[in-house]
Structure 1
Amino acid sequence: MELIQINPDLSAYLAADEVIDHHHPVVRETAARLAAGAADSYEYARAAYEFVRDAIPHSQDSGDLRVTWRASDVLSRRTGVCYAKSHALAALLRAEDIPAGLCYQRLADGEGGHEIHGLVAVRFNGAWHRQDARGNAPGLDARFSLNGERLAWVPDPDIGELDYPELYAEPHPAVLAVLRAAPDRPYLSRTLPGTL
C-alpha cells in the first residue's frame, strides 16, 4: 500500500514531541541497548520492532488496566494498546535516525461496529513499509518485513474495514484524545474511535 505523507517534510518523521519522546532517557537507553546488538539500521529496526511486539504486552491481552500513550511510559511500564505500542516503536526508530510515521486501519470490532487500529511505517530504501507491533496472539502472526506486509490483519472491505492511506508524523488527534482521557483500559475500550 502506498502511503501519503501528511507532512511532506521528511524531518517531521524524525522529530521528538510529547508523545514520541525519543529524547527521554528510558527511550535512549532502550535504543542504545538494542543498537548494541545490531549490525546495521535494518537489523536495529527489526530488533526494535520485535522488542515492542514481544517484550511489551498488549494491555488487553495481559489484562493490564493501565492506559499509556507516551513512548517513554510504554517502555517503562511495559504495557500499552496498539496505539501506545506504535508510539514506542516510532520513538525507538527515530532515536536511531530512522524515519517513522503512524498510520491506521479501520477494523470490525466484533460487535457490529468498527475501531481504529494503530500501525507504524518505517522508511527504508526510499519507501514506507507498514509494521504492526501490536503483539501476536492466537491467530495473529505479524512480522517485521520490508518485502510485503506481514500485518496482524488484512482489512475486509465487505464489512467496512479499510486501510487509511495517510501517514502521520504525530498521532491522529482523535486517537490521542481518547488515550489521554481514559482513566483505565475498559473506559478506553468503550471510547475508541470507529473512524478517522
Structure 2
Amino acid sequence: MEDFLRTTRYCDYGHPAIRHTAQSLRRTYGGDGHCELAAGIYDFVSENIEYQVGKWNWLASETLARRAGTCTNNANLMVSLLRACDVPAGYRIMRVRGDAYLGPVTPKRLARHIAPTSTHIYVAVHLHGRWLQCDPSNDYALSLGIQHLNPPSGLVRWNATGDAPLNIDRRHVLADTGPIADIDPLMTKRNRPLVRLGLQMSNHYIHYLRHHGSGHDTLHSLKSGFTNWLRTNYPMSYVLYMAAPYWPVRHRGHKAPLAPDTADGQTTNAASGSGAREDQYCVLPAESE
C-alpha cells in the first residue's frame, strides 16, 4: 500500500499549494474517518477544475493553479490531494472506442477527428478495506449543462461508499486496468502532433456546452446555437470551423492493437507506455482526452 501514498514527479503532493489545499479540505471534511474527506476531495475537483482537452502532462500543482485540465490532469490532482491526506489512492486506465462512447452531442465536423480508440484515466481510492472507483473528469457545470441531451455526461456524485464511474456505455469499453500507483511513464509521453485548431475548437465547444447547453432542448438546436455563438464571438474560428471537414485527420486506424497488459482487473505499479495515449480531439469528458 505504500506505493499508493508516494509522491512522484507528476503526483507532486509535496508542493505547498497542494499541501495547503489538502489541509483546508481536511479541516472541512476531516470528520472521524477518510470517507467524508475522500468525498469532499472528489467534490472539490469536480466543482473547481473545469474539463478541457489538450496537453495532459501537467503536474498536479499546475492543474490546481490553472483550475482546468484533461481527465488525466483531474484524476492526478485528486490522487495527489488524497495522498496528501494519507488516503491511499491510485489510477485506473480505461481504453474505449473513442468514436462510439462519447454520445450524440459531438458535432460531425469534430467527430471525424476523434481517434477510434482512446485512453481515459480515472481514480481508485482504498476505503473500507477495498478499492473504490470514482471519476472527477466531469466538472459539475458541464454535466448540468448537457446531461439532458447527452447521457454519458450525466452528473455523477460520489459518497465514498461505493463505485461512481461515468455513465459510459460499457459496450464501448475495450479494457479497464487498475489500480495503478504511478502513471508518470504515461504522463511523460510526448503529446501527439496536434492540429492546434482542433483543440481550440473543441474547447470553444466545451465552453459553450458548460454555459449555454441547458438552454437547448434538442441536439439540432444546440449545434446550431454553437455555430451562431462562434460566428458572433470568434468570427475567424467560425470560418475555420466551417472548413473542419477539410482538416487533415491525424489519428490512426481502428485496428491499432491494445497493450498486452490491459486485462480487466490487473493491478500493477506502473502504466505501460505502449498504447497509453490520450485522444486530443474528444470534446466531452465522458471519454478521454
TM exceeding 0.5: yes
Alignment of 1:4-153 (within 5 A): 10-38=1-29, 39=31, 40-60=33-53, 69-110=58-99, 111=114, 113-136=116-139, 137=143, 138-139=146-147, 140=153, 141-153=155-167
Write the letter of the residue equivalent to 2:118: E
Alignment TM-score, normalising by the size of structure 2 = 0.55
Alignment TM-score, normalising by the size of structure 1 = 0.78
Backbone CA RMSD of aligned residues: 3.1
For 1:53 and 1:170, the matched residues in 2 are separated by 22
Greater Rg, structure 1 or structure 2? 2
Q: Cα distance, 1:175 vs. partner? A: 4.6
Note the alpha carbon deviations across 1:137-186, whole angstroms, 9 max, x for none.
223222224444221133433x4x23423221111633541459989783
The 3-state SS of whatever aligns with 1:165 is strand
Note the alpha carbon deviations across 1:25-60, whole angstroms, 9 max, x for none.
000011011111111321111111111111010124
- Name the residue aligned to 1:173: 185
- Taking only the aligned residue pairs, the percentage that are identical comes to 26
Write the letter of the residue equivalent to 1:30: T
For structure 1, which runs of at least 5 residues remain unmatched after alignment? 1-9
For structure 2, which runs of at least 5 residues remain unmatched after alignment? 100-113, 148-152, 203-249, 259-274, 277-289
- After TM superposition, the runs of 4+ consecutive aligned structure 1 residues lying more than 3 A away are 65-68, 145-148, 178-185, 189-196
Write the letter of the residue equivalent to 1:42: C
Q: Cα distance, 1:112 vs. partner? A: 6.6
Mean Cα displacement is larger for which, 137-146 or 86-95? 137-146
